[in-house]
Chain A
């Protein structure tokens, strides 16, 4: 066995035995350092004959390369082991809960959501959204809508009044969103297509009535729209809103002072204990009132009823929200119980669209 072979075996043993990077470095210095054993062998090449060098050179250089490679390999192994050892100490308990995402815990009230749905549906049919004040005059809430002074129809509305002013007039809380119809007809020229969502008030409070509730009305004024158009619009609306392929509707003659003819609309449904399904079943559920705008109302707004005509409809937003989303009672809408709101409310990113669906 030559010296070179012995040296290689010894050095390789030492490399393998090095337990950490410092020990390995010591092995490297002992072999490849300035006065290392392999370095010493390399230096001997200088004093050799060309023949000797030709024979020994590759042997010695081969030794150096193998030792260098072994050192590198060992170093990588030690580094890897050290990293593994460190990582072993670096654990977190991933089962600990993170904070809930605010966008998942926040909620939009069903009334807001349904107003957004209504807006989406009717905007597609060319309707704008009109609004008006909650505190109204008697004139706009009643008289101009063809509720004559003292007319029994006024008593169908349990009106909240403010105290009389010195001139004897008194303001009231609007009992329906219809005064906005008048405001719209007074402020813009036909053709008119608007929906009017908003808060309304009646001094009534029991299981199914709250002193404040929400209504949405629609108003169309032009020179040719008739009951057939009204039926079509309401059918399209009901299909879109309740997200069903078909909905059977029943139009019944009724009475409202501000429309003539007047109709009430029922939709066919199946009522069961927990839910209402539309487009099937044997029951009729009243959902809205509508009719052709009364000639007196048109006249009150400066429109000639022989030239202009149109229709209007109105329904309870809270009510259609209950029908669609299955809330059994009205009162909790306004009680701000976070349990109710979290359950029946909508996440902020559930924005109703026609492309993506009103509700998902």
Chain B
């Protein structure tokens, strides 16, 4: 919402300076977004006369002008404008002036060998219009030396406020003035509009067929008006707030919209066929609107039709057919009420953002429907003359009375601020409320222009915002005597720990979009209709992600494309299995690319290597353990989902029913589908699948058990088929004696010379921890024999000689 200071002063008798008014506007909830003070910004541009303009000696298209700037010292200026000529009056800017249209600060220059001390400017250079055909050509009587902005009336500061959607009353300057007056910024000027006596009945009848969309409709004809340009003061105001003056009749409606928040419509009566009907449009109807576009209509749209066709989109935009032109002599002025919800829906559906829609969808003052029409009529008569008809009212302009029972203490209850009743009354009365009573509860009648006031809390807001939120004292809010307990839930703790654990492994945390492309979603098992956005912002951000991996792989590739091929990225975040709350899970995923090994990133003199499945396995296990997964219970089995390399991937599970996650090399086909290049390994674990630990009564750790006896370590090397899993050998070994065997480590895996083709050698170190006595050689040998036998039985492994 924009207006000028002078405009405001027509509704507010005030001596307050602009900055005080602006500060108050912001502090009562009408936030000032910008103040444009052209008088200040263009202060250096003055009116000047070209004493002489002659041809530049070295350039065909330039002229050398001697300019009288009013200082008595003529100034030489080189000018390239085709209209520069001797005797003309124009606008001059001296060196040091900032030229807004060119975004430069003028200096003294030499152009083709001739010195130039300033500039004669065009409107485009002053950013007043797009006109850069020539320099500004002023009437000969314009006063030399005076500020151009002041002379041209551009020195009225334009104030723009960021209007919140609850305040349609402040979509007019009048309402803004009322708020300022309530905040002690002056006296509100609010004379009641004078009715204009009609001399004949309105000849056009109005039928409201859709009263649910149009509670009231007022119409009046003015005959014999002479349309033409509106007065200069009105044009200037409209231009100042960014509107284009069209003709007096149209300008009056725009003025009423911004002056009073009361949109009106004017029909050229000569183009209206018969009577008017307010009704729902019929499917197949359409309207060429005033913006030059044709809108297809249906039954959800409220229209004004005459006997021939639809002529106007109610409350949103008029039709081109019946619009007022310079030739209009008989004008029908419409002032109506429209149901806000329907206006909002229609406007959204048709994609029209008009000033009328803005106001009607927020709610205009029903009690002002007829007074607004009277005001507009008076303006038409003043500017264009003519004879007015009587006002015809269809429906009703009656607003329902809203009275709120208001306990005076409510202000203190919600704001903490003690406001005496007289002060509350004074504020509310200034805002147009009517307050009755003096007891603990008073009756407050809400003015018709405030659709936002529903209840007690709204009244509290009115009082607090006008007397100033600054007066509310900050009040300490103690945390109470409750025991200090952790506030994070288990998933929250896990998420935090997972992030820190992965970062501690040298990985960098990324936050990628929650939505990915459909093809990527499908590749990772989703792409369901329930998870596809109806209005995605881009084709590759269309579906909720079933996995973090597509986003991470794309990010890794982007880094590689930028020249950083060795990246280790992770993300801990939401993935989606469906659209219900329980379908949203927390995943932790990571990707390592090229040389971003867990041991260190990039090439190194101590040894190089590309990422492999074991880097991803280590990441996956470490994040699971950091998040509280029980290490003993986790099993790793070969293989994983289709997007992983079938032979170089694994699944981490606690029994076959509870899969915690996967790791491995990305499948070459998945890599290709994600438009990425490898080598690239990934993991993804679901933090929600980690079993909850049992609650413990105390924080004490179990007693430490230290054996007095030395542990014994024995090495074994088995020859097995290539397909045999090391994990099976380890498990077979552990199963020999779970109590005695404290640890089994795989320390060598070998294929090649001295090993039969199709076989491999796996060497393990077994640590025995006796607890009751030192083991004898015989006892150790007996365990070793059992291990060899058990491994042989379970895996076919043969001890190497």
Chain A interface residues (CB < 8 Å from chain B): 96-97, 99-100, 102-103, 105-109, 111-112, 116, 119, 123-129, 131-135, 148-153, 155-156, 160-164, 170-171, 173, 199, 201, 203, 205, 211-212, 220, 225-229, 231-233, 235, 250-255, 260-264, 292, 294-296, 305, 309, 333-339, 341-342, 345, 347-349, 351
Contacts and interface: CB of A to CB of B under 8 A. Distances in A.
Q: Which of B413, B534, B601 has the most CB of A within 10 A?
A: B534
Given A107-B509, A229-B475, A254 B487 contact: no
A310 B513 CA distance: 34
22 contacts: A102-B506, A106-B508, A109-B511, A134-B544, A135-B544, A162-B530, A163-B530, A170-B534, A201-B514, A228-B472, A231-B474, A255-B164, A261-B460, A263-B469, A294-B457, A335-B558, A336-B551, A337-B558, A338-B564, A349-B500, A349-B504, A351-B500
A226 B415 contact: yes
B461 A260 contact: yes
Using C-beta atoms within 8 Å of the partner chain, give the interface range for chain B: 35 or more
B414 A292 contact: yes
Contacts of B648: none
A79 B165 CA distance: 94
A126 B485 CA distance: 9
A97 to B, nearest CB: 8
Nearest to A156: B165
A173 B508 CA distance: 27
B601 A232 contact: no
B555 A336 contact: yes
Contacts of B491: 131
A103 B504 contact: yes
Contacts of B513: 211-212, 334
Given A134-B584, A135-B544, A125 B562 contact: no
Given A253-B461, A260-B461, 18 more contacts: A106-B507, A108-B499, A112-B509, A112-B511, A124-B479, A135-B544, A150-B344, A151-B344, A152-B361, A152-B362, A162-B532, A162-B579, A227-B415, A252-B27, A252-B469, A305-B457, A336-B511, A348-B499
B795 interface: no
Nearest to A341: B508
A287 to B, nearest CB: 14
B511 A261 contact: no
B672 interface: no
Given A161-B533, A226-B475, A229-B416, A295 B457 contact: yes
B308 interface: no
B535 A160 contact: yes
B488 A119 contact: yes
A105 B412 CA distance: 54
B169 to A, nearest CB: 13
B340 to A, nearest CB: 8
B477 A253 contact: no
Nearest to B455: A295
Give the top 10 A-B pairs by smallest Cβ distance, nearest first. Answer: A228-B416, A253-B29, A102-B506, A228-B475, A255-B164, A126-B479, A261-B461, A336-B555, A99-B600, A253-B465
A125 to B, nearest CB: 5
Contact of A227 (B414, B496, B544, B605): B414
Q: Which of B166, B512, B574 has the most CB of A within 10 A?
A: B166
A255 B164 CA distance: 6
Interface in B542-601: 544, 551-552, 555, 558-559, 562, 564, 567, 569, 572-574, 576, 579-581, 584, 598-601
B559 A338 contact: yes
Contacts of B340: 150
A227 B472 contact: yes
Contact of A199 (B164, B472, B473, B514): B514
Contacts of B37: none
Interface string B343-363: 011001000000000000110
Contacts of A108: 499-500, 503, 509
B496 to A, nearest CB: 7
Contacts of A105: 506, 508, 601
Interface in B263-291: none
Contacts of B562: 337, 339
Contacts of A261: 414-415, 457, 460-461, 464-465
B492 interface: yes
B167 A255 contact: yes
Contacts of A255: 29, 164-167
Nearest to B341: A150
B529 interface: yes
Interface string B424-465: 000000000000000000000000000000111110110011
Contact of A162 (B499, B514, B533): B533
A173 B27 CA distance: 34
Contact of A163 (B474, B489, B532, B580): B532
B417 interface: yes
B31 interface: yes
A253 B28 contact: yes
Given A107-B508, A227-B416, A235 B474 contact: yes
A254 B164 contact: yes
A155 B348 contact: yes
Contacts of A152: 165, 344, 361-362
A213 to B, nearest CB: 10
Interface string B745-781: 0000000000000000000000000000000000000
